Amino acid sequence: MYILCYEQSVWYRAELSHVIGFNENSLNDCDFTHVIWTGDFNVNLLEANDGAVQVNYLMHKYALCCLTEYELKPVKHSYVNSALNQASMVDHFWGLC
């Protein structure tokens, strides 16, 4: 799941709702006993902004918790697009608590 950098706008809330809705539908449509969810979250999940509120609600609803042992440190990038001169990193791992 990719969460955009937080901004205070209607566009951001609509995009965020689309991403959260897609992931929630994926969880609803499958029978599962094990889940590991990876994400590139460009939003601070400890703040009370729209991104954090919606992601934390989804995590609580499906009993997902942070799996810090899977963090990729000291890896700096898990994705590099040299044509666009951009890089990013899958920086959050969640699993069934």
pLDDT, residue 72, reads 58
Amino acid at 1: M
pLDDT, residue 65, reads 81
**pLDDT tens string 46-95:** 777 888 888 888 888 888 887 765 565 666 777 788 888 887 777 677 77
* pTM across the whole model: 0.66
Length of the chain measured in residues: 97
Q: How confident is the model at residue 30 (pLDDT cuts 50, 70, 90)?
A: confident
Query: Phi then psi for 42, rounded to 5 degrees?
Result: -95, 40
Range of the domain at 19: 2-96
| pLDDT higher at 73 or 40 | 40
Q: How far is CA 4 from the centre of its chain?
A: 9
Q: Exposed, middle or buried by CB within 10 Å (0-12, 13-18, 19+), for 43?
A: buried
Please give the tally of structural domains in the chain.
1
